[in-house]
Structures are given as C-alpha cells and as structure tokens.
Amino acid sequence: MRFAVDGMGGDHAPAEVVKGCVEAVKELGVDITITGPSDRIEAELAKYDVDRSKISVLHTTEVVGTDEGPVLAIRRKKDSSLRRAIELVRDGDCDGVVSAGSTGALLAGGLFIIGRIKGIDRPALAPLIPGKNGRFMVIDVGANTDCKPVNLHQFAHMGKVYFESILGYVKPRIGLVNIGAEAEKGNELTKAAYELLAGDPALNFVGNVEPRDCITGDVQVLVCDGFVGNTILKTFEGTVKTMLELIKASLMKSARGKLGGLLIKSSLKEMMKQYDYRETGGSAFLGLNGIVVKAHGSSDAMAFKNAIRQAARVKEAGFIDHFRAEIEKNQLQS
C-alpha cells in the first residue's frame, strides 16, 4: 500500500509530518509519497535512518493556507502540496491521501479531483470517538452544515458499512441526534430523516438519541447534519480537556490530594490516552471515490502515524467496494 501525505499541511509541518511518515513506514510497512518543497522535506528526512525505497518526495511549489477560500485555493494552486497529493490518488499512484491542512480544501479537492461514489450526494466527515461503553461515530461533523433528509439517510449507511467492514460489528446501532427521544421531536429535517431511517429495514435504527446520551457509546453511529455534529465534537473535546484540568488542579491543592494523585497516576494516564485524539490520528471523509483522511491541524508525529494507520485500515477492509455494494443492494436515493 502506498499513501500520499500532504507534507505542508498542519501547524507543525513539515517536521512532524515527516517524522510521522518515517514512523508509519517502520511500524506499518507502508510506502509513502510526501508532497511539498523537496529541499525542506529532504532536510527533515535526513534526520532519520529509514528505508528510502519506502518514502519518496514529490516536489511542489505552493501551499494552501487555512485562511484561503477552499474551492479557489484548490482550483488556482495547481502545484500545492495538498492538490498534488490528492491527484496521486485520482491517478491511481497512491491508495489514499492524508492531510492536516485545510478541511474545506481537502473536501473540495476530494470532490472535484477524486469525485464522489456514484449514488452519494455529499461526502461526510466521520470521526471515531471513545465512549463509556465503546467507540462511536458522529456523522457528519462539519462537511455539510445544511442537509436534506436523504443526506442523513446516506450518512447512516456510510457509518453502518464502516462499523461492519472495518470494525467487525454485526448490525451496528444507528441513532439520529435530536433534542428528545420521542419520534415526533425535532425540526423538519430530523422528523423527515426519522421516517427514512425508521422505514429502512437494512438499518438497525434505534431512534432518536439526545446529545447527553451520545457519549455512552451504546449507539455506534450517530447521524446528524454537520452543524450539530461539529458542535457535539467540539463540546466533547472541550469538556474532556476542562475536566482533566479540574481534576489536576484539585489534586494539587493539598498534600493529601498530591498523595492521592500519585496513587491514581497510572489510571489517569490510561484515561487520558483513551481520549487523546492522536491515538485515532484522523477522520475519514466517507462517500468519496478514494480514501481521504483528515488529520487534526495540530497533529504531531504520533497523530500523523495513526492517521496513516487509519487510511491503511480503510484500504485493507475494502470499505469503498463494500459501500458501493451497499448502495446497489439498498438502492439508496440520490
């Protein structure tokens, strides 16, 4: 397997990007093409003892900034590290692309250069999040802030196939994020989407799920529009960060607390690791005709390595082929 990595995407590019690629080659055995200014990429690669037959560099002269209009940036900056990485997937030279750059530009490039899977109206960004009783997926978390009921119906099938083909679930539970558990709750979008999901025998639809119940992990696929999903994701991230800071501050207030902190230090580290975004690495854009993984903008080497691992899992599981079969089998609306 060979993956394209945007060498200039993210807050710590290219140093952490290159380090993550080196670790991925050593640990995962994948081949990687890094896009970006060859002098800067090669200078970073020279710091490591790595099999150079497994890593190549594609020289590019432009970078897409996070403050640029995504569509214009992809169209105008034809020699950007992001666009050239996406083109490697389109041309069949690489099996997938990983970037920590502009989310909007990555989506725009995926749409215009790689294209959607036939039968899908809109791709969705779908991160896996650790819950109390297991991992769950929120789909979508920002790619589509305005949705139609049919989009949410398609999102549900995307999540279903992901959990089945990649995580090995049988009939993963599908829920619709809403303000109440009752079927009649919500706005026009959620009411119409509820009817589509409830009327689809191919889905193990369990009904509406209130945001407070999302984090249990009892429902594997949580369907919503990107505005709601992004709010859930960022509230979750902020809550975890704040709670850990409060726990630490409380323990440091007294000698008893410090002693207790020493006793629970290993348990706290284990919990922090579970909620560390770097462990997952990135979120896949589902619905595109190729593997596209978005890494967090502040990703370090560990996060990049695991984002590449995520792309490799999607490839190994044959997710795209499984999802095409799902569309054909269930004749999803488009």
pLDDT for 334 beyond 70: no
71 and 210 part of one domain: no
309 and 261 part of one domain: no
Return the CATH number at 13.
3.40.718.10
Average pLDDT over residues 68-93: 94
Per-residue confidence (pLDDT) for residue 279, from 0 to 100: 60
The reply to whether 106 falls in a domain is yes
The reply to whether 328 falls in a domain is no
The reply to whether 301 falls in a domain is yes
pLDDT tens string 129-146? 888 888 899 999 988 889
274 and 292 part of one domain: no
80 and 166 part of one domain: no
17 and 150 part of one domain: no
User: Which of 101-110, 143-152, 219-228, 254-263 is least confident?
Assistant: 254-263
42 and 181 part of one domain: no
Helix (H) or strand (E) holding 129: strand 128-131
Q: Residue-wise over 109-119: b if at least 16 C-beta within 10 A, else e? A: bbbebbeebeb
Q: Using the 3D structure, point to which of 279, 298, 328 is the last residue of a domain.
A: 279
The reply to whether 325 falls in a domain is no
Burial class from Cβ neighbours inside 10 Å (0-12, 13-18, 19+) for residue 219 reads: buried
Asked whether the beta carbons of 33 and 5 are under 8 A apart, the reply is yes
236 and 298 part of one domain: no
What mean pLDDT, rounded, does the chain reach?
90
Q: Using the 3D structure, point to which of 279, 299, 328 is the last residue of a domain.
A: 279
Per-residue confidence (pLDDT) for residue 113, from 0 to 100: 95
The reply to whether 151 falls in a domain is yes
Task: Express as a percent the part of the chain with pLDDT over 90.
Answer: 66
Q: Which residues contact 111 (CB under 8 A, 6 or more apart)?
A: 123, 288
Domains of the chain: total? 2
Nearest C-alpha neighbor of 7 from the set 61, 49, 70: 61
313 and 190 part of one domain: no
The reply to whether 327 falls in a domain is no
Average pLDDT over residues 145-153: 94
The reply to whether 334 falls in a domain is no
Burial class from Cβ neighbours inside 10 Å (0-12, 13-18, 19+) for residue 157 reads: buried
Per-residue confidence (pLDDT) for residue 275, from 0 to 100: 60
278 — pLDDT class (breaks 50, 70, 90): low
pLDDT for 333 beyond 80: no
125 and 263 part of one domain: yes
247 and 304 part of one domain: no
265 and 156 part of one domain: yes
Question: Rounded distance, CA 111 to CA 114, Å?
Answer: 6
The reply to whether 331 falls in a domain is no
Per-residue confidence (pLDDT) for residue 272, from 0 to 100: 64
Question: Rounded distance, CA 38 to CA 40, Å?
Answer: 6
Higher per-residue confidence, 89 vs 243: 89
139: domain range? 121-279
The amino acid sitting at 270 is E
Question: What letter would DSSP give residue 69?
Answer: -
Average pLDDT over residues 174-193: 92
Helix (H) or strand (E) holding 55: strand 55-59
310 and 179 part of one domain: no
Give SS3 for 18. Answer: helix
Per-residue confidence (pLDDT) for residue 181, from 0 to 100: 86
